[in-house]
Structure formats: C-alpha cells, structure tokens
Amino acid sequence: MNVGLLVAVGALVFFWSVVAGRVERLDVTGPIVFVLAGMVLGNGPLRTVDISVGTTTMHVVAEVTLVLVLFADASRVNLDDLRRSSGLPIRLLAIGLPLTFALGFALAAVVFTDLPWELAALLGAVLAPTDAALSAAIVSDESLPQGIRRAINVESGLNDGIATPAVTTFIASAAVAIGAGALHDTASAAGTAAVVDIVGGAAIGAAIGFGGGRVIVAARARGWIVPGGRQVAVLMLAALSFGVSRELDVNYFVAAFVAGMAFRAASGVDDAEATELPELLGRVLSLAVWFVFGAALVVDELKLVDWRIAVYAVLSLTVVRMVPVAISMIGSGTGRPATLFIGWFGPRGLASVVFGLLIVEELPTADPGVQTILAVISLTVLLSVLAHGLSGRPLSQWMARQSAGPPAHAEGGPIRPTAPFGRHHHRQDHHRHP
C-alpha cells in the first residue's frame, strides 16, 4: 500500500468520523462517500492515488477486514435466543438465504450462457449476503417495528459468515474449471478438500474462541486484567483464529466466524466493551475497502457493462432478493408491506466487495468469464450503495406509517443503532454508543 493511498484514506476516515452524524441525516452513508471519493481520487484528472487490487497487500487487507467483520458480527449473536426463536431472522437465514443463492445461480446460468457453472454459482454466492450498513437509517429508526429492524440487522450480521464457505469453495472450483489450476495459500479449496478446510477452520475457531473466552472471563473475575486488556485480548482471539487456521491451511474465514460465536458462548453475555477493538478496526478497514472499490474496481469494470450485466444487476437487487424473502415469510403472519420492505432492504455491500477482491487475487482476470462476474459484482454493489443508502430513510418513514404495531413474531430486546462508521451491529442486550 503506497503512502498516497494511506494519506488519502486516513484523511477521509478522520473527516468522516467527525461529520458522519450530520452527513447521514442527509441520507448520505459512509459507503457512498468513500466509493465516490475513491472514484474521483483514483481515476480521471483528479487522480492522486495509484491502486492495484491484485497486489498481495490488498489481498491481505481484504482478508483481515472480512475476518474482523465476521468475528465481530458473530460475537453479537445470542445462540440460545436464536434457537428458541421461530421469528424472522431464522426464516431469512434458513430459507431466504439458500433460495437467494439458488435463484442467483439459476439467473446467472440463464443470462450468461457462456459461463461455466462454477462461475455462475460463484456469482450467486458472492451476491447472496446482505449488508445493513447500506441502510443504516433502518436499523436505527425506532419508529419501525422492532421485529423488522432486528430481522434485517441479524440477517445481515450472519449471512456473510454463512455464505463465506460457499464463496471460497466456488472460487477454488472455478480456478480448476477455467484452467488456472489448484489454489494454494488461500482459504479456497475445491471438492472434498473444501469440506476438510471448513471443518478444520470451524474446529480451530471453536477452540480459540471458547477457550480464550473462558480465560478472559476467569481473569476478569480474579481482577487480573488491566484497563483495556479485555479489548486487546479479544482482538487477539480474532487474529489468532486467522493466523493459526491460515498456518494450518484451513478456512480462516470460517475460523473467525466460529471463533466469534464461541467467544460469545464462553462469555455468556453480549460484551460490548470487550469486542470494541475488533469492531472499530473492522469498521475503519471496511471504509478503506470501500475507497479501494471506488478507486480500482468500479470505473474499470463499468466499461465492460452490457445489457446482460445490467439486467442481472437489477434483478439481483429486486427479484433474486425479494422472491426468496416472500417465500420465507409464508406462514409468519407478516403483512405484505413488511414483506416488501424487508425484501427491498437486502443491500449488497462489504462482503460482496471483499469477495470480489479475493476473486481478483485468486482467479485470472484476463479470463472473459471472470471479467463478466467482476463487472456484475461491481455494478450490483454500486447500484445498491446508491439505491439502498438514499432510500433508507424515506422508505422507513413509509413503513412506519403502514405499521399499526410490531409483527406477530417480533422478538424482544432493544437494537443498537448503527454506529457512525457505517457498519451494522446487532447487540441484543443493551444500547451502547461509541
């Protein structure tokens, strides 16, 4: 990473940190600001930074960002509550997410008839996860029924971790299909090796997250931890899950996600203070990734857009998302306005961008099929950044007027509003502001 890029991102993060509360009231989100800034500063006459997304440094930044996001999101989840609940989050994750992937896969196979099925499946998996950071006004708007806000928040916090094994597996399968050969030193593996990698990553994550969590709880109870020690210790659990699993050549994304859930299980509570460092660092890095996306991917990939890519992007944000959501809501008692609202607010965001950067690193970008899916990902995410970011507040006001009360299956417990850095959080126990 060059000094110019570091200075540009550092200055932008600083200014965004001090003005985000004011700017977001204008329905302008962090991803919108950083993508547009990247497009301006990385291209055209005002170009001041030179970024190559195929470098090892960018690959590591993308991986670490996703690891921190997966760990932080998973550490928010109360597994006992989810097991006891038959509410909307379970429906969206257990029914809606698989159907979204399947429909995205099928649409890619129909629209892009020249794509190998492995690349079509990869595209469906990359664009299946959602990101509530692009609709921050939804999560923080207390005029909306709590069940709707919780459903969107919990779904977007978990579906990137659930989709990650499929993405890494299909990256490896696509590499073989297009003649790039087997991938090494990566989270991606194909066939039975993928199963071994996923199981191995889950085992390592569970051991590090649960074991480390119990040590932290015991040390705190004995008064051994100095101020700030828990935050550093939890950050190191995320780092260890990544480092150990990578060293052992298993799926480190799965390891980070499972480690976050295991830490929550070991601590027994949603420890907002303890998870503050991985959460904050993940948010800062995610803004950097949005800048890189605007500077190094969007402009070049949009040059490749044709009618097929445009059609797929629009359908991905509408039909591919909304039909599975509607199916998952059958029998839930949720009204049509709420179903439409949740179906629309399935923005494609950070996870899809990071997956795109991994594709750039691991697959040959000269391949026409790889170029096609990168163009689709770039256009879909760009449209989502704009459409979901700008429509969040107006449509939430519409939904509030439509709702006489919370849905029949709304779950209890307050929801923490989205932090100014723009990454969603689904704390289930209490409010806490950074």
Buried b (16+ CB within 10 A) or exposed e, 102-114: ebbbebbbebbee
Any idea which of 235-244, 308-317, 323-332, 402-411 has the lowest mean pLDDT? 402-411
Report CA dihedral (302, 307, 308, 309) to the nearest 10 degrees: 20
Q: What angle do CA 130, 346, 29 make, to 5 degrees?
A: 80
pTM to 2 decimals? Answer: 0.82
Query: Cβ of 26: how many Cβ atoms within 10 Å?
Result: 9
Give a yes or no: residue 84 inside a domain.
yes
Alpha helices in 178-228 (DSSP H): 191-221
Does residue 371 form part of some domain?
Answer: yes
Q: Which domain holds residue 85?
A: 26-402
Of 124 and 413, the structure prediction assigns the larger pLDDT to 124
Token pair of 119 as six digits:
């690349």
Residue recorded with tokens 């079509």: 120
Q: What is the pLDDT of residues 191-238, one digit of tens each?
A: 566 678 888 989 999 999 999 999 999 998 898 988 888 899 999 999
Tokens of 140: 């923080």
Q: How far apart are the first and last CA of the chain?
A: 28
Inside any domain, residue 152: yes
Per-residue confidence (pLDDT) for residue 119, from 0 to 100: 95
Say how far apart CA 28 and CA 23 lie, in whole Å: 6
pLDDT over 70, % of the chain: 85
Backbone CA torsion sign across 8, 378, 250, 181: negative
Domain-embedded: residue 1:
no
pLDDT digits (tens, 9 = 90+) for 339-367: 999 999 888 888 899 899 889 888 888 89
User: How far apart (Å, rounded) are the C-alpha atoms in residues 120 and 93?
Assistant: 21
Q: Please report whether residue 407 resides in a domain.
A: no
Predicted confidence at residue 370, as pLDDT, reads 93
Residue 431 lies in a domain: no
Mean pLDDT of 173-183: 74
**Contact, 239 vs 255, CB < 8 A?**
no
Residue written as token pair 């991905």 = 316
> Residue 109: pLDDT above 70?
yes
Q: How many domains does the chain have?
A: 1
Is 110 domain-assigned?
A: yes
* CATH number for the domain harbouring residue 69: 1.20.1530.20
With respect to residue 224, please indicate whether it lies within any of the assigned structural domains: yes
